[in-house]
Amino acid sequence: MKTVSKNDFRQFLKKNKIPLLIFLVVIIALIVGLIISFGFRKEKIGLAKNDNQGASANTSQNVIKEETYENLKFSNVSLITENGYSTFTADVTNISTNNSDISDVDIVLQDKDGNEVITLRGNIGEPLKPNETRTITAVTKGELKNVTAKAIAKYEN
């Protein structure tokens, strides 16, 4: 068996400098490409640290339907879940000829069997004048995917 001396190795490097340099560049490019590719794959399959689930809307007709309670019309209703929080939003319009004295309502969200899942407080605030519209918002932690209906009721402390 022949041993390789330092001089033999140096001569080999001198003779093959360009092909070795190209080989090293290709290897480094492949490694960088794999690292970048794995990073994108982690995000795609939900392993990245900043995993945004995005927003999802509850489209159940009995949740988003227009509804009237005590001369207040609730319209443009939405129930959106995003980043672990659910937000109920609605426009409230006083459809009577008198000022409304209702400042808060209960928004009872129910499952398919009519069982209460959660009750949110809808704060209307100051009395609504006739034909005045105000947007209310109620937020809770958690996803309300199993909610299929809503009911507007008198606010209970």
Q: Assign residue 97 the CATH number of its domain.
A: 2.60.40
Does residue 76 sit in the same domain as residue 150? yes
Does residue 88 sit in the same domain as residue 32? no
Q: Which helix (H) or strand (E) holds 90?
A: strand 85-94
In angstroms, rounded to a whole number, what is the distance separating the alpha carbons of residues 155 and 75?
Answer: 19
Does residue 91 sit in the same domain as residue 22? no
Amino acid at 49: K
Asked if residue 49 is part of any domain, the answer here is no
Total structural domains in the chain?
A: 2
Question: Average pLDDT over the chain, rounded to whole?
Answer: 85
| pLDDT score at 42 | 47
pLDDT confidence tier of residue 156, bands split at 50, 70 and 90: confident
Q: What is the separation of C-alpha 145 from the centre of its chain, rounded to a whole number of angstroms?
A: 13
Asked if residue 123 is part of any domain, the answer here is yes
Q: Decide if pLDDT at 46 tops 60.
A: no
| pLDDT score at 53 | 59
pTM of model > 0.75: no
Asked if residue 1 is part of any domain, the answer here is no
**What's the mean pLDDT in 83-87?**
91
Which tokens sit at 82?
């995003």
Task: Report the 10 Å Cβ neighbour count for 77.
Answer: 18
| pLDDT score at 36 | 79
Does residue 75 sit in the same domain as residue 114? yes
Does residue 32 sit in the same domain as residue 90? no
Does residue 63 sit in the same domain as residue 106? yes
Counting residues of the chain whose pLDDT is more than 90, the rounded percentage is 54
Q: The domain containing residue 40 runs over which residues?
A: 6-44
Does residue 63 sit in the same domain as residue 126? yes
Asked if residue 130 is part of any domain, the answer here is yes
Does residue 140 sit in the same domain as residue 115? yes
